Structure 1
Amino acid sequence: MTEATPQPLPESAATIHLSQLLKSPVIAGSGESIGRVDDLIVRLPGGDAYPPITGVVVGVGGRQVFVSSEHIREFGADRIVLSVNKVDLRSFERREGEVLLKADILGHRLIDVAAAELVRAYDVELDETPEGWVLARLDTRRPAQLFGLIKSSGGHASRDWKAFEPLIGHSGSKTARGISVRLRGLKPAELADLLEDADKHERGEILDQVHGDPELEADVFEELDSDQSSKLLDAMSDSEVAALLGRMRADDAADSILELRQARRRRVLDLMPVGQRVKVITLMGFNPNSAGGLMNVDFVSCTPDSTAVQALSAITAAPALQPEALLKVHVVESDQLVGVISVITLLQAGPATPVTDLMDDDPVRIGPEADLTDIALLMADYNLYMLPVVDDEDRVLGVVTVDDVLEDIIPEDWRRREPAPRPVREPASAAKTGTQNADGAAQQ
């Protein structure tokens, strides 16, 4: 079944900016002013709906009270008029799942999903629909300032609400929203970048979301820089760390173990699944910057009497391996490397073709003690994406992939440089009118 395309809001009869509405008077049905607007309440619905305005937080005589949207007769930029003459003067208490636009959104950072970056909301746009008022768009452009005072920009650079994922610290709201489909749609490297840019509270919410998908959590931790990963692991229990490392690639798990305090390493290792523990301990025996320390001990192999279709079946039977480790099949006899075949060669060959007719019987290989420079030079000279690591008797110990080499060879200061801008795709429900460019400016 194909996924339904998100539908944009219909042309609105009216649009109000939250900044205009805050502190506006709230008028009773009798015409008497009873207070001023302190905040607006929305609920973040599931699916692809826009959040409806469910109520207003009104400041009345030094306290905050709740007025339901059902009791609002007129919703304007300069005032709110009620359909009742009296309001319940009990102090407002937030209920589970409620989001406050001023307290939770305005001035706070959200995730711009298309750009995979944290941006700040400087204003909120509300639209009137046949079903009521809804949160429709955000203005993420910093207002111009003159001598420290906000200067009007002459218009709002608003973008569709559905382009963002809010980070709301209120525990009841987080629980009600559950795991965000939009957030889980980001790549692990993008989520890692967000975590590295986030403050303590933002980081906590992103981690809570990621933690709901154990495999995604492992992928994200593989992408984190060592300092950030170490800090996050320090805040976790031994059993949580062991479970996480048990799902990670063995080489990345070994690096993470070494980042732990010495006193924790043995405890965490003892709690890890036996198979993963053996792999990690093996890798910890090598210098982290050597081929042995960089290699992944999982690789695809077949015997010399295999056919092309059987070699391809070995790849199909290894869904848990990283894609980079599936680029070649290693032909192994009595634990010794006798040849290597690329996946492309196997795909182009007849199914019954013997692998011995297809393989490179003298493949480039490297010893576990080789350093990063040796690995990089070999990969560059022979145009390789993967190198088998063998011992003195030509037994395959693992494979080093080009992504591992790049990760270690890139200077640390390069990692901190601002990435080049990339096109931002708005959701299909994007702007009410016109299209939006990458920095939020409206094109009419």
Structure 2
Amino acid sequence: MAAGAPRIFVSHLQGVAVFDPAGDQVGRVRDLVVMLRVGQRPPRLLGLVVELATRRRIFLPMTRVTAIQSGQIITTGVLNVRRFEQRPTERLVFGELLDRRVTLTETGEDVTVLDLSVHQLPARREWEIDRVFVRKGRKGSAFRRAKGEALTVEWTAVSGFSLEEQGQGAESLLATFEQLRPADLANVLHHLSPKRRAEVAAALDDDRLADVLEELPEDDQIEILGKLKEERAADVLEAMDPDDAADLLGELPTDEQERLLSLMQPGDAADMRRLMSYEDRTAGGLMTTEPIVLRPDATVADALARVRNRDLSPALAAQVYVCRPPDETPTGKYLGTVHFQRLLREPPPSLVSSILDNDLQPLDPEAALPAVAGFFATYDMVAAPVVDEAGALLGAVTVDDVLDHMLPEDWRETEFHLDEEVATDGA
């Protein structure tokens, strides 16, 4: 469902088929998972409970949903098939919110929830429940049909769903800091007690926790990962940028590394092992294995569509890499790079192979950090391809990863303590 699309009532999603990009059905929707928030703020829709053909129920994050249309749901094709387990901060829409008795705030009248509508926030990946379809009068039963006026009201017009302001759970803390950037939320977590830090980490969804872990000092990363169940720890590692996940895995004991790798999707585990085979302070150790890769017959329009992916960092979205098949790293022969600004200047039907920048030499995976930093400084780059001796694209190094490794090892702790001192002085 694209931003700005009409709202969808959740009753229309019950039993809807879920398809991968190739058109193969992977399952059907059995419930929706939301996180209630403090006060009257609309709940955030986290994802869907999907029942596979094997009857196993899995969790499909909304970040993996690319379209809801014509009675079907399309996913990115990347599914985690581990059994769904509801977390303390989560609520099931069909199982817990529908048929619930709530109160109309204006009149104080009790009503029954018949349906809820969801919509995607403009220019964002987040989804919310925004309206409630209710019926006035007493609740019906199996032998007596309820009567009374039915009406649709804004979420803020009813009470009886949301968390209480005085609640002491992690939900309240998360609601308070929900709009923070990952680096700022990492700062908050760093200064919490270990017990509270573990509670907040447990309440975050996998993608959000992955983003925050990438911004935390190494000791905090290891501590939080160690307090998660192994299956969830593997899920969070999969959601992290591959280079950051590989760095974190590399700090764990060998037996723990192997247990977590065995729980990951085979493709993700292979990427981790490949990254961990390089020295930390080399191009191979710094790179991510998930740059934008296109075949030579792709068009400028195809490239721009890939660049628009909200999951990409600005550095990775700055250029695309054109390669012979296969187009997943390690690819076929690397042909060249197309910069984002060049894409904006070309007609959409043009082939990317006609506008390649192939004069710039790619990085060797064994190139040391000073050589990588010198490359970025010399050519004013924010990302650079890493290519092996056979000419295959292995990944891309981004300028933020170069900076992370050039700064002192304790720079994150120093930054957090400086923030704390500034706050104290300001008080």
Q: Percent identity?
A: 32
Q: Runs of at least 4 residues of structure 1 off by over 4 A?
A: 175-179, 417-424
1:327 aligned onto 2:318: yes
The aligned residue for residue 377 of structure 1 is 374
The aligned residue for residue 247 of structure 1 is 239
Q: Deviations over 1:154-177 (max 9, x none)?
A: xxxxxxxxxxxxxxxxxx933495
The aligned residue for residue 194 of structure 2 is 200
* Residues 422/344 of structure 1: CA separation in 2 closer, same or farther (3 Å cut): farther
The aligned residue for residue 269 of structure 1 is 261
Distance in 2 (CA, whole Å) between partners of 1:309 and 1:225 is 40
* 1:414 Cα deviation after fit: 4.1
* 1:287 Cα deviation after fit: 1.1
The aligned residue for residue 389 of structure 1 is 386
SS in 1 for 2:397: strand
Contact 1:302–1:314 (CA<8 Å) still a contact in 2? no
Distance in 2 (CA, whole Å) between partners of 1:183 and 1:190 is 9
Q: Deviations over 1:93-131 (max 9, x none)?
A: xxxxxxxxxxxxxxxxxxxxxxxxxxxxxxxxxxxxxxx
* 1:413 Cα deviation after fit: 4.8
The aligned residue for residue 398 of structure 2 is 401
Larger C-alpha radius of gyration, 1 or 2?
A: 1
Q: Normalization by structure 1: what TM-score?
A: 0.53
1:313 aligned onto 2:305: yes
Distance in 2 (CA, whole Å) between partners of 1:45 and 1:221 is 24
Distance in 2 (CA, whole Å) between partners of 1:351 and 1:265 is 45
Contact 1:189–1:220 (CA<8 Å) still a contact in 2? yes
Distance in 1 (CA, whole Å) between partners of 2:333 and 2:359 is 12
SS in 1 for 2:338: strand
SS in 1 for 2:231: helix
Distance in 2 (CA, whole Å) between partners of 1:422 and 1:185 is 23
Contact 1:299–1:398 (CA<8 Å) still a contact in 2? yes
Distance in 1 (CA, whole Å) between partners of 2:204 and 2:390 is 45
Root-mean-square deviation (CA), in Å? 3.0
Query: Which one has more relative contact order, counting CA pairs under 8 Å at least 6 apart?
Result: 1
Matches within 5 A, 1:281-320: 281-316=273-308, 318-320=309-311
Contact 1:179–1:212 (CA<8 Å) still a contact in 2? no
SS in 1 for 2:177: helix
Gaps of 5+ in 1: 3-43, 49-171, 425-437
Letter in 2 for 1:187: R
The aligned residue for residue 40 of structure 2 is 47
Q: Normalization by structure 2: what TM-score?
A: 0.55
Match among 247, 251, 266 for residue 259 of structure 1? 251
Distance in 2 (CA, whole Å) between partners of 1:420 and 1:240 is 31
1:367 aligned onto 2:361: no
Contact 1:330–1:339 (CA<8 Å) still a contact in 2? yes
SS in 2 for 1:356: helix
Matches within 5 A, 1:4-43: none
* 1:423 Cα deviation after fit: 11
* 1:368 Cα deviation after fit: 0.6
Q: Deviations over 1:40-65 (max 9, x none)?
A: xxxx96137xxxxxxxxxxxxxxxxx
Letter in 2 for 1:183: F
Distance in 1 (CA, whole Å) between partners of 2:314 and 2:396 is 12
Q: Deviations over 1:302-328 (max 9, x none)?
A: 222333222223334x55443421210
* Residues 349/419 of structure 1: CA separation in 2 closer, same or farther (3 Å cut): farther
Distance in 1 (CA, whole Å) between partners of 2:232 and 2:299 is 43
Match among 173, 184, 193 for residue 190 of structure 1? 184
Distance in 2 (CA, whole Å) between partners of 1:301 and 1:231 is 35
* Residues 251/411 of structure 1: CA separation in 2 closer, same or farther (3 Å cut): same
Distance in 1 (CA, whole Å) between partners of 2:38 and 2:410 is 42
* Residues 231/177 of structure 1: CA separation in 2 closer, same or farther (3 Å cut): closer
SS in 1 for 2:168: helix
Matches within 5 A, 1:45-444: 46-47=39-40, 173-175=167-169, 177=171, 180-208=174-202, 211-316=203-308, 318-334=309-325, 335-415=332-412, 416-417=414-415, 419=418, 439=426
* Residues 321/273 of structure 1: CA separation in 2 closer, same or farther (3 Å cut): farther
Distance in 2 (CA, whole Å) between partners of 1:203 and 1:177 is 13
Distance in 1 (CA, whole Å) between partners of 2:278 and 2:305 is 32
Contact 1:329–1:342 (CA<8 Å) still a contact in 2? yes
Contact 2:170–2:199 (CA<8 Å) still a contact in 1? no
* 1:422 Cα deviation after fit: 13
* Residues 420/233 of structure 1: CA separation in 2 closer, same or farther (3 Å cut): closer
Distance in 2 (CA, whole Å) between partners of 1:193 and 1:420 is 9
Distance in 2 (CA, whole Å) between partners of 1:363 and 1:347 is 20
* 1:359 Cα deviation after fit: 2.0
* Residues 176/198 of structure 1: CA separation in 2 closer, same or farther (3 Å cut): closer
Distance in 1 (CA, whole Å) between partners of 2:295 and 2:170 is 53
SS in 2 for 1:378: helix
